[in-house]
Structure 1
Amino acid sequence: MAYRETEKMRQRKAEARRRISECAYQCVAEGGFRSAKITRIAQLAGVATGTIYRHYESKEDLFAEIFRQATQREIDKVAEALATPGSATARLEQALRQFAERALKGPVMAWSLIAEPVDPKLEEERLAYRKAYANLFEQAIHEGIEEGCIPDQDARQSSTCLVGAIAESLVGPLAPSQNGQAVTNETDKKDPLVDTIIRFCIQGLTGTRR
């Protein structure tokens, strides 16, 4: 008689996978991908190390899922900001602020997503999500051109420049310090940086000094 998985067993497997994913996310948020150890993830999830490999083919597959989850959260926040009322430039400004401020409030995870040296599988995910950010910005730039608040330009190229500018601007502030700890967030010290990033990006798009 062929083995048939019961609904209860499927639920138990799904719950184990969920715990593994949540604990892996926690480990990455605390120390980045390179510091996230499978043994530690298994311990936190309350499973054997081998159980992880029954749910994921490799550590890289598990981390790719965590990368997708974490980045999608940030993309959703940017999309929400771009969907708010107002001119295209105002919405772009809000989206850029959302991106930068959230990164500075969660520096370890932000560094992991933006600039931490990672294996090729995660680098592919990083490139895919940079494109996703660029697509959101491109649509907003097109809308700004139609509204007349942004000069006519190559929206696709400009959106790519926006993603590159904001990501590169955050690399230094997010980079782990010499003692291996990421920079902690201090709102009063970070606001000038965020304002500078936004000013540079919007000025580049509109050609107008802010």
Structure 2
Amino acid sequence: MAYRKTARTEQRKEERRERLILSARSLIAESGFAGTRAKDIAQKAGVSEGTVFRYFPTLAQLFVEVYRSVASQEIEVVREVAQGEEAASERVATVIRVHLDRALRRPGLAHVLVAEPLSAELEAVRLVHRRYFQDVLADIMSDGIAAGEYRHFDVETAAACITGSIVEALVLPVARSEVGAPDLNARIDFVVHFCLNAIAPWRTSAPLDDAPIKTHADA
């Protein structure tokens, strides 16, 4: 009986911890890290403010968990869409398009992921997850080289440059919360084409301008 009671207690603790993370995530999406306070998290989660600090001794620790949760989810999505039998250029385009589309549909979360000024601790987490995204792109481009679609080139640097372009392309729209703006799809298509053109000189087949590139209208 004691074991069953302990198991139930641990389950309730884990459920409460997860509720705190989800509550903080919701508030951060609205107000950013800088505008989110412990008492607001407690109120949203239906617990006392002391409970927040019982599970997370500092707000910084809770914020790191929130950032990891959101960023890890995004990385899993792009890893999933990166799989496939399509040409590497198409897979790169799909990863970029899906990532941008998800970000621009949720500008609050996108802003904290790519644009909000962060503490050194959170910035370190941001850089780690940005590297994960670069690795997805680098792996796809390596596949393209192995398949003969591209000649050999520095995929690590190319992935870093593409990632930087995507981040910069997101900063202004998410800062302005331009969800539903009529030019967003065109902007996404432009970024995709821009990034593919960046690695086009190493293609072994037709130049990019002669190759079919899917747009939002084709998706």
Query: Given the two structures, how large is their TM-score scaled by the length of structure 1?
Result: 0.90
Q: Please point out which of 183, 190, 193 is paired with 2:184.
A: 190
Number of the residue aligned with 1:180: none
Report if the CA contact (8 A) 1:87-1:144 is conserved. Answer: yes
Cross-structure match for 1:120? 120
What is residue 44 of structure 1 aligned with on the other side?
Answer: 44
1:76 Cα deviation from its structure 2 partner:
1.1
Query: How far apart are the structure 2 equivalents of 1:130 and 1:199?
Result: 21
CA RMSD of aligned residues (A): 1.4
Work out whether 1:147 is the aligned partner of 2:181: no
Whole-angstrom CA distance in 2 between matches of 1:66 and 1:154: 33
Matched, 1:66 2:60: no
Query: Deviation at 1:28?
Result: 1.2
Deviation at 1:150?
2.5
**1:206 maps to what in 2?**
200
The separation in 1 between residues aligned to 2:84 and 2:50, in whole angstroms, is 46
Matched-pair contact (CA < 8 Å) for 1:89–1:150: no
Deviation at 1:37, TM superposition (A): 1.4
> In 2, distance between residues paired with 1:139 and 1:173?
28
Gaps of 5+ in 1: 178-182
Matched, 1:97 2:91: no
Query: CA offsets, 1:16-58, max 9 Å, x none?
Result: 1111111011111222211221111100111111111111121
The CA deviation at 1:149 is: 2.1
Distance 2:170 2:18 in 1: 31
Runs of 4+ in 1 over 3 A off after TM superposition: none
Q: Work out whether residues 23 and 44 of structure 1, in 8 Å CA contact, stay in contact via their aligned partners in 2.
A: yes
Aligned-partner residue type, residue 94 of structure 1: T
Measured at CA, do residues 187 and 97 of structure 1 come closer, stay the same or move farther in structure 2, by a change above 3 Å? farther
SS of residue in 2 equivalent to 1:57:
coil
Q: After superposition, give the CA deviation of every residue in 1:89-147 in whole Å (9 maximum; x if it has no partner).
A: 10110000001111100011001000100111110000000110111111111011122
Instruction: State, as a whole percentage, how many aligned pairs show the same letter.
Output: 31
Q: 2:12 aligns to what? A: 12
How many pairs were matched up? 200
8 Å Cα contact 1:111-1:174 kept in structure 2:
yes
Mark the runs of 5 or more structure 2 residues left unpaired by the alignment. 202-206, 210-219
Show CA shifts across 1:191-210 (max 9, x none): 11101100110000123444
How high is the TM-score relative to the length of structure 2? Answer: 0.87
Residue in 2 aligned with 1:168?
A: 168
